[in-house]
Amino acid sequence: MLRFLVPWLFALHHSTTSSSPPSPIPNPDIHYNQLLISNEWHDAVSKETFPTMDASERGQLLNHLADLVERDCVYLASLETLDNGKPFQESYVLELGEVIKGYRYFAGWVDKWHSKTVPMDDLELAPALDTGNTAVMKVAEQTPLSALYLASLIKEAGFTPGVVNIITGYGPTAGAAIAHHKAIIKVAFTGFTEMGHLIQKVAGNFSLKRVTLELGGKSPSIVLADADMDHAVEQCHEALFFNMGQCCCAGSWTFIEESIYDEFLERTMEKARQRRVRNPFELDTQQGPQVDREQFEQILGYI
């Protein structure tokens, strides 16, 4: 993944063309902070069944949702930056761009599988809806705002009430309820490895539901003496610093061949000193704040 991502980030940070992202909304108003259940912004329980929907209709809904995300992408990117500190240009170009393309991709595939099973190994909301499932999405307690606004767009797009339900809460309460619930047949989780162990254990003990886990780790980079030094320094730098280091595949280990160790160390330290750490709403910012104080203190503990 990183070999494709890093060159793109390099181009993004050095671009001065007219394709630069629009100005962010530095203090976006928060329109939604409740739960969306059955398309209502309050706690609700519905026992109604969902009407049968042709696959092509699901594709039309996903395309309409992509249109709405594209319409409000500056606001959504601003919410994402406000919530987690990601530089606005990355929220706008990378995060929102990929969401829009992903929804359009699955909208195009929805009626073309001819009774074959759609691979769900990398489960997110779009493929779940694509294949006619209902979904309950518990968003991270640190960063709920953009997902809750997306919930309003799902409602506006015309999805049947109850097909998509987006809730907030903490892992030990709201997350545990999802893992334990016998009516939920598949859980996809992105987060800490320790929590992944618990979810897998609960799913096996109580309901045998399928589980997909995307967990944190320390991905290694290996630099040998015959490597292009400029390229290696750039790759290893972005592998570690992308998204303020808050990335499930962050390259936080670097193994250097002894003969080039001193040169690589000096050059990578200089690269780190040059990184622009400032207000994430400024378009030339490369790194904003950590998502919360706990993450900040944990990083300081490594130094």
Q: Which residues are catalytic?
A: 214, 248
In Å, what is the CA distance from 74 to each residue of 23, 93, 147, 289?
Answer: 8, 10, 14, 20
C-alpha distances (whole Å) from 96 to each of 72, 140, 234, 249, 276 are: 10, 18, 24, 20, 22
How many Cα atoms within 13 Å fall on the side-chain side of residue 134? 17
Residue 283's SS3 state is: coil
3-state secondary structure of 238: helix
Smallest Cα–Cα separation from 71: which of 185, 157, 161, 139? 157
**279 with 27: CB under 8 angstroms?**
no
Q: Which two tokens stand for residue 37?
A: 């259940």
